[in-house]
Amino acid sequence: MDQRLNLIGLLQLLLLATSGNGLEWTVPDVVSSIKNVGSSIIDPKLLPTPQSLLEGSKQLLVGLPFEYVSSSINYICSQALSSNKIKSKFTPDITKMNFQLRTACVRTSFPLLEAEKMWNSPSFDPTKRVVILATGWTTQVNDTETIDKMAQAYNCRGDSNFVALDAASFVDTLYSWSAFNTDEIGLHLAHGLVKLLDVVSVDKIHLIGHSLGAHIVGAAGRYMQQLTGKMVPRITGLDPAKPCFNEGETLSGLLRGDATFVDVIHSNPGVLGKRDPMGDVDFYPGGLSALPTGCITVTCAHARAWEYFEESIYPGNERNFMAIRCSSIQGLRKNKCVGDDYPMGIAAPPSLKGNYFLDINAAKPYGKLSSSQRSARLLNCGECA
Ligand SMILES: *[C@@H]1O[C@H](CO)[C@@H](O)[C@H](O)[C@H]1NC(C)=O
């Protein structure tokens, strides 16, 4: 019963997006029957938030039913988008969006359109690189574990200025609206980057995005090329969101070519995250199974991508996750994959191409080559002393 409620809730997101547009769908029967149940409740206030849906999905022990629903939603969403009748309900407003520069102790916000002012901030070190992180779904910039942990890791490492994209509430609305907004937010981010390029050389910039954020930074990379002719050297996609993002559809999302080097970590392939390779290099830790070892929920799996990357940022951890080019995790485990191993995460070499597989631990530290002594030593590194 709980499971069915989740399915209805998820479909309601799409129903809200498509209601009243006279769209003709051809969807599996099971989906249309759920649609009929769902369509009697159209009060937007009754709709679950993406967060509550994700919380609800914790009750699902196996990824498979969810995987099927996810695919159905993906299909409906793509149909809705390609009809060109759907407009985002909340248009992202660039004047409400900020870069938030984070040192261990200080958080300073700069409007995207005044990004060049970051240069004059005492918190900004012009000799260092600039890492910009965009997240998905829950993007209260001051209340997001992903941002906090990644900021701490980079502040421990000490070689980069860490900046979070504060997309105001424009990613924190219903998933479908959020998905429709990613392109426009990406364009706004690109305008912010153009301002930043007044003071920072492009080769110092690294864009990282988790979930919907991966598609936002991908769009930013594309638009920046249009606006300046310059390419960001690296974009990292951490379990790029799957629902609504299809190959060749209106929203194609992050793709190789958006930066000189696009590296992607897939941790919930086929459910909340995309399964198909899209980067120059695509890492599949634990293989193509929707739930990596140690996870019994899709939210846990979706978060793993940034947790792996975060672990690799800490000094000494760069080679915790060694991966081999392969076509399956089974092949890897049977030693059928030949070739050198290369690090997944911060130290992924920009020349890497193809699909790479590796095994991971069920609990922290996740890297097969991690050291619990080193992890213990680094526990408070990067925190405000
Ligand atoms: C986040 O926190 C900083 C101070 O730590 C504050 O200046 C800023 O306004 C906060 N941003 C939001 C969106 O609440």
All domains of the chain, ordered by start, with CATH?
Answer: 3-83 (no CATH), 94-377 (3.40.50.1820)
Instruction: State whether the beta carbon of 123 lies less than 6 angstroms from ligand 1.
Output: no
| Local structure of 123: helix, strand or coil | coil
Query: Which ligand 1 atom sits closest to the C-alpha of 168?
Result: 13
What is the atom index within ligand 1 of the atom nearest the CA of 98?
13
CA of 131 to the centre of ligand 1 (A): 19
**With a 6 A CB cut-off, is 107 part of the ligand 1 pocket?**
yes
H helix intervals, 131-174: 145-157
The pTM of this model reads: 0.83
Q: 256 vs 198, 236, 278, 282, CA distance in Å?
A: 26, 10, 6, 10
Q: Is 141 in the pocket of ligand 1 (CB under 6 A)?
A: yes
Distances (CA, A) of 96 to 165, 170, 256: 11, 9, 30
Mutate to test the pocket of ligand 1, among 97, 109, 166 (most ligand atoms within 8 A of CB): 109
Does 96 sit in the ligand 1 pocket, CB within 6 Å?
Answer: no
| 142 CA: nearest ligand 1 atom | 1
Structure tokens at 138: 């829950």
Sheet holding 107-111, edge to edge: 107-111, 98-102, 160-166, 129-134, 205-210, 234-238, 261-265, 281-285, 354-358, 322-325, 341-343
pLDDT(216) > 60: yes
Pocket test for ligand 1, best of 100, 142, 143, 144 (most atoms within 8 A of CB): 142
Closest residue (by CA) to atom 3 of ligand 1?
A: 107
Between 98-102, 246-250, 330-334, the lowest mean confidence (pLDDT) is in 246-250
SS3 116: helix
Q: Whose CA is nearest to atom 11 of ligand 1?
A: 142
CA–centroid distance, 109 to ligand 1, in Å, is: 7
Residue 123 clears pLDDT 80, i.e. is over it: yes
Q: What is the pLDDT of residue 13?
A: 46
At residue 172 the predicted structure's pLDDT band, cuts being 50, 70 and 90, is low
Query: 142 C-alpha vs ligand 1 centroid, how far in Å?
Result: 6
- Residues of the chain with pLDDT > 90, as a percent, come to 59
| Beta carbons within 8 Å of 292's beta carbon, 6+ residues apart | 267, 285, 286, 301, 304, 360
Query: What are the tens digits of pLDDT across the range 300-350?
Result: 899 999 999 999 999 999 999 999 999 999 999 999 998 999 999 999 999
> Does ligand 1 lie within 6 Å of residue 328's CB atom?
no
Ligand 1 within 6 A of CB of 368: no
What is the number of the ligand 1 atom nearest to the C-alpha of 106?
5
- What pLDDT was estimated at residue 17? 38
Tell me, in angstroms, the distance from the centre of ligand 1 to residue 141's CA.
Answer: 8
DSSP letter string over 290-333? SS-TT--SHHHHHHHHHHHHHHHHSTT-TTSSEEEE-S-HHHHH
As a whole number of angstroms, the distance between CA 307 and CA 152 comes to: 12
Nearest CA to ligand 1 atom 2: 142
Reference 92, options 5, 197, 191; nearest CA is 191
Q: What percent of the chain has pLDDT over 70?
A: 72
79 neighbors 323 (Cβ within 8 angstroms): no
d(CA 331, CA 340): 15
- Residue 23 is predicted with a pLDDT of 31
Q: Which atom of ligand 1 is nearest to the CA of 141?
A: 13
pLDDT above 70 (res 368): yes
Q: How far is the CA of 148 from the centre of ligand 1 (A)?
A: 13
Exposure string (b/e) for 297-313, b if CB count within 10 Å is 16 or more?
A: bbbbbbbbbbbbbbbbb
For residue 154, give the 3-state DSSP assignment.
helix
* Residue 201 alpha carbon to ligand 1 centre in Å: 27
What's the whole-number mean pLDDT along residues 341-360? Answer: 98
For residue 108, the model assigns a pLDDT of 96
Q: Output the pLDDT for position 264.
A: 98
CA of 164 to the centre of ligand 1 (A): 12
Distance (Å) from CA 354 to ligand 1 centroid? 40
Choose between 103 and 178: higher pLDDT. 103
Distance 153 CA to ligand 1 centre (A): 20
Q: So what's the pLDDT on residue 171?
A: 67
